[in-house]
């Protein structure tokens, strides 16, 4: 969701919602990778039922990563996506459902943002090339050195849009991937896998929410299902709260800002392209070949526990002496609704509400003050009470003038502090004095301790005197440098004119030029200037202001309906670039009635025409592409070569507003009618809307039922028996190109082998259908067991929190591994510094070490090949006993060298010992919903362990001929 800094604000205000993930790593013996067995209990000490993947959050970092070298071709991109899913599956280990959703055709309200993003990406790419050429010429003219400019094709991330060949190939690859894992990975054997590819309309996260909503409304749904949703967008938190499921967790990558990036011109680290001097790189140490490579570190994951967030909100939203019954679930819905005012993907945020200025806290405070006047809650089941919302907006409008003035004061104060900081840094001004002795800074884990101070007063005096001497030396050095810059030495006289120095030119100033702000919200008359500058209308034009407010009110109703009931209209969108003021929300009660019924989404190629710039027209058919570039085209004005970006009071271009023309749907469809006959059969197939597909393995109870449908060649829709699929219901229909058991599945990626012993089966799936007037209730379902409280009284007080420490896994009592100074002394005594890199060395690991532990040189089973096939299935102990003559896997030669880590936070043995009770309890839970038959419980929850899981190592790829980005 378009709420910059929302997650940062949320995690700082409610820190206990975050839990760091524990991940079991695959082991390696003599270069052979042993995958993790995901059928074992979860090391995070929680058993999760359903895992939902918002696939676009996986596709983008795998195809054009920022922190590591990009894949060379499309095949490597697909393998990177597979490995990313494998890693998530290893962490979460779902026991019932894996749902993979790729963004399909979006509603018009979302297409405006997609259009802005893709036009920006194209514009920034062109500007980067121009800047590189300009800087290259300047550096070479100054005599600098630059490596030869490599001519390579840039990967256009705009191809990650429904309707392109890339997305069509991705869907084929994911079908192969699912069939391979269901066949070969024991952790997948009883999982029901849903794949909703880009041909299915709707955003990925909203397709997931629609699935959850419709399953919750079924009588066989288990109200105690533990959901886990993967994605980095802030709106996932809102969507999770909107389900009112008591057990809902979000997993996402841990955000680490300010990652180093190499210069786009010379490839060296430590500076940006604008500061490049073209200096030859100097050798830096023994391992110089790694000096300027991007530091690659595996991204860590965190869990966001929405059940704990609900605890925080329950305390914060509690209101006493209400004139109506208090309902916490309704209060949560109102909190979600109020967050829309600070920004979302469909509406611009109100000018007076900024998340960094505590806008949500201000709205909550106003909400609790005004709720006595409203007589009830703002929302109900996704429908808005506009009369009550108006009271909130009027209260915000009263404070708008003070908000704008306070914002200006804060900006000026920040600039002043930054200016003083730069002055101190440039002048080399250090601290007044550096403490030493007992007060000297100590390195963490340092062995030495300073002697205690005998005379504190004398020590303080010596530190002050030493600081004074250091300052005098620095001042003398600065004075000498200044005289040398002015061409003056201490030996000769000078007049007053020469001693003044030379005034710096404006372009030499350290301060960056600021954009001109013609609105000046902090001065009187701000509303008149805002409407004149942004909308080009007079402030006295009340009809226009009312029109803007009416469109914004419609948008608020549309967004809330989208979150709680599904897409109310595929055609609606907000037709302005800017939002009105809160004080303009007057008489809004009758501004909205309902949306147009039975609207249909765009087709994939139609959406490409609505969101792509002309520079990305190569993904479109030739005749369609001509509509973007032909001067005689009737819609050429939809595709400007250049466009303005209004910073709108911000500092960076990515924060600004792209002033692009809105696409007129009627004109677009009229222009496309003339080129539709030019589409080939393949292009018509990619332009059609598809359906979800469900896959199960041979051991799943639903497999035989689906197989009978194919044998009977029944083309009638069939409902899923709830008792065969964890209570999940829906409609099945035969697939045109099905994946069937015992039928080989050809690999679409040359570097991966075909699945010759396939045991998976797939069939089309459709969610349960309801009448258009049906309302999904936003309540906690009967029979749901609320999770145990996590927060303690001390968590409510900021002063009582103390130093924050991350929690590993879901067990708050897990013992953390740590070493004190005596431990470091012992390790340094036993591990000599002259042994080179090893357990605790700084260099790369040696052959006998892996991951901080030592392993035996005993060989693994001879028939082990790294990938799981039908011939390798079986547990580890049987493999070792049959091949190596051993009753257990080979042990380390010296267990004492790593026994200290067995009690640590990452100790697998410890987590397994503390897990069985909770694991068995999860097997039997689910009262009030569907429970598996007695003879199926063992196979559905921790059944026989066969083989390993998905972390297999891939063989070296043959040269690929598809989209070779680095020829």
The pair of structure tokens assigned to 609 is 């025409």
Dihedral, 519, 523, 527, 528 alpha carbons, nearest 10: -70
Calpha distance 507→828 (Å, rounded): 54
Q: What is the mean pLDDT of each run of 10 residues along the chain (967 residues)?
A: 75 90 88 89 93 95 84 92 95 96 95 91 82 80 72 78 94 96 93 96 95 94 95 90 96 77 71 70 55 62 94 91 90 94 88 90 92 89 94 92 91 89 68 61 54 71 73 69 57 43 46 72 90 87 92 95 94 94 91 89 94 91 93 93 84 80 93 94 93 95 93 88 91 92 92 93 94 93 92 66 62 67 69 44 40 38 39 37 38 37 35 42 43 41 39 43 40
Report which DSSP code applies to 755.
B
- Tally of residues, the chain: 967
CB neighbour list of residue 498: distance below 8 Å, 6 or more residues apart: 486, 487, 488
pLDDT at site 355: 87
d(C-alpha 967, C-alpha 956), whole Å:
18
Largest Cα–Cα distance in the chain?
Answer: 107
Question: Strand pairing of 731-733 and 761-766?
Answer: antiparallel
Strand partners, 756: none
Asked if residues 248 and 303 have their Cβ atoms less than 8 Å apart, the reply is: no
Q: Output the CA–CA distances (angstroms, integers) from residue 135 to 127, 145, 967, in the order listed.
A: 12, 12, 25
Planar angle of CA 881, 887, 888, nearest 5 degrees: 100
CA-wise closest residue to 861 among 846, 848, 847, 872: 872
Q: How far apart are CA 102 and CA 169, in angstroms?
A: 13
- Give the strand pairing for 718-719 and 692-696: unpaired
Closest CA to 750 of 531, 955, 521: 955
What is the H or E stretch that residue 732 is in?
strand 731-733
The per-residue b/e assignment along 136-152, b for 16 or more CB within 10 angstroms, e otherwise, is: beebeeeebebeeeeee
Pairing between strand 645-646 and 50-54? Answer: unpaired
Structure token pair of residue 504 = 């710096």
Burial class (CB in 10 A: 0-12, 13-18, 19+), 688: exposed
Residue 963 region, left (φ>0) first, then alpha (ψ -120 to 50), else beta? left
User: What separation in angstroms does the CA of 695 have from each of 87, 481, 605, 728, 942?
Assistant: 20, 74, 28, 13, 20
Which strand (E) or helix (H) includes residue 28? strand 27-29
Q: How far is CA 220 from the centre of its chain?
A: 33
Residue 249 and residue 49 in contact, taking contact as beta carbons nearer than 8 Å: no
Per-residue model confidence (pLDDT) at position 817: 65
Nearest Cα to Cα of residue 613 among 645, 595, 638 = 638
| Rounded-to-integer distance, Cα 765 and Cα 664, Å | 34
Reduced to 3 states, what is the DSSP secondary structure of residue 380?
strand
Residue 736 is classified by DSSP as S
H or E stretch covering 50 = strand 50-54
DSSP-derived secondary structure for 848-889: TEETTEE-------TT--SS--GGG-S-HHHHHHHHHS-SSP
Q: d(Cα 215, Cα 192) in Å, to the nearest integer?
A: 14
| Contact present, 306 and 250 (Cβ < 8 Å) | yes
**For residues 34-71, b (16+ Cβ closer than 10 Å) or e, as one string?**
bbbbbbbbbbbbbbbbbbbbbbbbbbebbbbeeeeebb
Give the Cα separation of 226 and 208 in Å (integer): 14
How far from chain centre, in Å, is Cα 439?
Answer: 43
Query: Do the beta carbons of residue 162 and residue 105 sit within 8 Å?
Result: yes
CB-based contact 363:341 (threshold 8 Å): yes
Among residues 166, 199, 103, which one has the least CA distance to residue 693?
199
Helical residues (DSSP H) of 217-327, grouped into ranges:
235-243, 306-316
Burial class of 960 by CB neighbour count within 10 A (0 to 12, 13 to 18, 19+): middle
Residue 343 is predicted with a pLDDT of: 79
CA angle in degrees (0–180, nearest 5) for 809-813-816: 75
Question: Is the four-CA dihedral 191, 192, 198, 199 of positive or negative sign?
Answer: positive
H/E element holding 62? helix 56-63
Our CA angle for 536, 540, 546, nearest 5°, is: 80
Long-range CB contacts for residues 524-527, cutoff 8 Å, separation at least 24: 526/401, 526/404, 527/581, 527/583
Reference 781, options 566, 926, 923, 931; nearest CA is: 926
* Phi, psi (rounded to 5 degrees) for 505: -75, 165
Exposure letters 738-771 (e unless 16+ CB within 10 A, then b) = ebbbeeebebbbebbeebeebbbbbbbbebbeee
Report the C-alpha gap between 188 and 940 in whole angstroms: 10
The radius of gyration of the chain's CA atoms, rounded to the nearest angstrom, is 32
Angle at 236 between CA 234 and CA 239, to 5 degrees: 125
Pairing between strand 227-230 and 248-253?
parallel
Q: Is residue 278 left, alpha or beta, with left meaning phi > 0 and alpha meaning psi from -120 to 50? A: left
Contact indicator for 655, 647 with CB cutoff of 8 Å: yes
The pair of structure tokens assigned to 188 is: 């997948």
Secondary structure of residue 903 in the 3-state scheme: helix
Hey, what are 629's tokens? 């570039």
Distances (CA, A) of 217 to 40, 723, 777: 32, 16, 8
pLDDT of 425: 72
Q: Report which of 43, 37, 79 is spatially closest to residue 184, judged by C-alpha positions.
A: 37
Number of neighbours of residue 822 by Cβ within 10 angstroms: 9
Determine phi and psi for 118, rounding to 5 degrees: -75, -35
Structural tokens at position 940: 């559905």
Q: Report yes or no: 249 and 230 within 8 Å, Cβ to Cβ.
A: no
Contact 89, 551 (CB under 8 A): no
Question: Which uninterrupted H or E stretch holds 951?
Answer: none
Nearest alpha-carbon partner for 135 in 144, 122, 123, 126: 144
The Cα 742–Cα 399 span in angstroms is 69
């Amino acid at each position: 969701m378009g709420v910059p800094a929302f997650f940062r604000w949320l995690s700082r205000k409610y820190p206990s919602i975050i839990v760091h993930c524990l991940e079991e790593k695959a082991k390696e013996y003599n270069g052979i990778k042993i995958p993790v067995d995901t059928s074992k209990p979860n090391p995070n000490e929680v058993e999760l039922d359903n895992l939902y993947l918002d696939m676009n959050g996986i596709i983008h970092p795998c195809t054009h990563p920022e922190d590591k070298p990009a894949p060379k071709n499309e095949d490597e991109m697909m393998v990177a996506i597979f490995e990313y899913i494998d890693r998530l599956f290893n962490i979460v280990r779902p026991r019932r459902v894996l749902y993979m959703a790729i963004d399909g055709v979006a509603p018009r309200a979302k297409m405006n943002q997609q259009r802005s993003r893709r036009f920006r990406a194209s514009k920034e790419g062109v500007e980067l090339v121009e800047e590189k050429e300009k800087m290259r010429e300047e550096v070479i003219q100054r005599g600098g050195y630059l490596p030869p400019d490599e001519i390579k094709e840039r990967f256009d991330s705009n191809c990650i849009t429904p309707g392109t060949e890339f997305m069509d190939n991705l869907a084929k690859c994911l079908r192969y991937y699912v069939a391979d894992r269901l066949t070969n990975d024991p952790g997948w054997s009883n999982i029901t896998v849903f794949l909703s590819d880009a041909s299915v309309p709707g955003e990925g996260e909203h397709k997931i929410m629609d699935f959850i909503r419709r399953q919750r409304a079924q009588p066989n749904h288990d109200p105690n299902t533990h959901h886990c949703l993967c994605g980095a967008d802030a709106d996932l938190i809102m969507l999770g709260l909107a389900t009112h499921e008591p057990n809902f967790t979000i997993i996402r990558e841990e955000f680490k800002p300010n990652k180093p990036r190499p210069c786009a011109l010379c490839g060296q680290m430590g500076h940006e392209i604008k500061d490049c001097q073209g200096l030859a790189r100097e050798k830096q140490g023994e391992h110089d070949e790694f000096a300027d490579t991007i530091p690659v570190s595996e991204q860590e994951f965190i869990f966001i526990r929405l059940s704990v967030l609900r605890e925080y909100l329950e305390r914060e939203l509690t209101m006493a002496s209400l004139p109506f019954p208090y309902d916490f679930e309704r209060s949560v819905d109102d909190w979600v609704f109020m967050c829309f005012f600070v920004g979302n993907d469909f509406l611009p945020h109100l000018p007076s509400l900024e998340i960094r200025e505590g806008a949500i806290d201000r709205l909550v405070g106003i909400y609790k003050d005004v709720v006595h006047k409203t007589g009830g809650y703002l929302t109900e089941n996704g429908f808005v009470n506009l009369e009550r919302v108006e009271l909130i907006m009027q209260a915000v409008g009263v404070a708008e003038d003070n908000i704008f003035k306070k914002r200006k004061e804060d900006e000026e104060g920040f600039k002043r502090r930054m200016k003083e900081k730069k002055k101190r840094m440039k002048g080399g001004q250090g601290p007044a004095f550096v403490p030493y002795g007992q007060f000297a800074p100590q390195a963490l884990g340092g062995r030495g301790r300073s002697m205690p101070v005998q005379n504190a007063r004398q020590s303080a005096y010596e530190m002050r005197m030493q600081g004074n001497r250091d300052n005098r030396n620095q001042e003398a050095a600065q004075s000498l440098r200044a005289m040398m810059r002015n061409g003056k030495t201490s030996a000769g006289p000078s007049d007053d004119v020469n001693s003044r120095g030379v005034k710096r030119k404006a372009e030499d100033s350290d301060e960056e030029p600021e954009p001109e702000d013609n609105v000046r919200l902090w001065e009187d008359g701000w509303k008149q200037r805002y409407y004149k500058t942004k909308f080009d209308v007079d402030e006295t034009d009340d009809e226009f202001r009312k029109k803007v407010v009416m469109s914004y009110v419609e948008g608020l109703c549309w967004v809330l309906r989208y979150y709680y009931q599904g897409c109310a209209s595929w055609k609606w969108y907000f037709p302005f670039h800017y939002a009105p003021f809160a004080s303009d929300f007057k008489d809004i009660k009758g501004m909205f009635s309902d949306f147009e019924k039975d609207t249909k989404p765009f087709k994939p190629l139609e959406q490409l025409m609505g969101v792509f710039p002309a520079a990305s027209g190569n993904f479109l058919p030739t005749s369609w592409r001509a509509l973007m570039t032909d001067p005689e085209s009737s819609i050429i004005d939809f595709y400007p070569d250049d466009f303005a970006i209004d910073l709108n009071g911000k500092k960076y271009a990515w924060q600004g507003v792209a002033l692009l023309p809105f696409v007129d749907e009627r004109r677009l469809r009229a222009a496309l009618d003339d080129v539709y006959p030019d589409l080939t059969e393949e292009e018509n197939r990619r332009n059609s809307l598809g359906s979800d597909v469900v896959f199960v393995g041979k051991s799943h109870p639903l497999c035989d039922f689906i197989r009978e449908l194919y044998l009977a060649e029944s083309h009638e829709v069939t409902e899923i028996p709830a008792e065969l699929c964890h209570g999940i219901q829906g409609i099945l229909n035969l697939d045109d190109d099905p994946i069937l058991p015992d039928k080989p599945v050809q690999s679409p990626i040359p570097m991966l082998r075909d699945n010759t012993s396939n045991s998976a089966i797939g069939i089309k799936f459709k969610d349960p259908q309801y009448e258009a007037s049906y309302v999904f209730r936003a309540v906690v379902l009967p029979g749901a067991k609320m999770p145990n409280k996590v927060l303690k009284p001390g968590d409510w007080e900021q002063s009582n929190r103390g130093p924050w420490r991350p929690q590993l896994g879901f067990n708050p009592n897990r013992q953390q591994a740590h070493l004190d100074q005596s431990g470091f002394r012992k390790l340094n005594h036993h591990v000599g510094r002259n042994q080179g890199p090893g357990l605790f060395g700084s260099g790369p690991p040696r052959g006998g070490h892996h991951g901080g532990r030592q392993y035996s040189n005993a060989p693994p089973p001879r028939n082990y090949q790294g990938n799981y096939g039908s011939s390798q299935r079986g547990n580890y102990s049987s493999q070792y006993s049959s091949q190596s003559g051993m009753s257990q896997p080979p042990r380390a030669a010296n267990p004492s060298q790593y026994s200290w880590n067995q009690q640590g936070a990452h100790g697998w043995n410890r987590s397994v010992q503390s897990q069985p009770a909770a694991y068995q309890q999860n097997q039997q839970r689910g009262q009030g919903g569907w429970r598996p038959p007695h003879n199926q419980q063992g196979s559905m929850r921790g059944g026989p362990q066969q083989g390993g899981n998905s972390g297999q190592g891939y063989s070296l790829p043959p040269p690929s001929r598809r989209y070779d980005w680095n020829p």
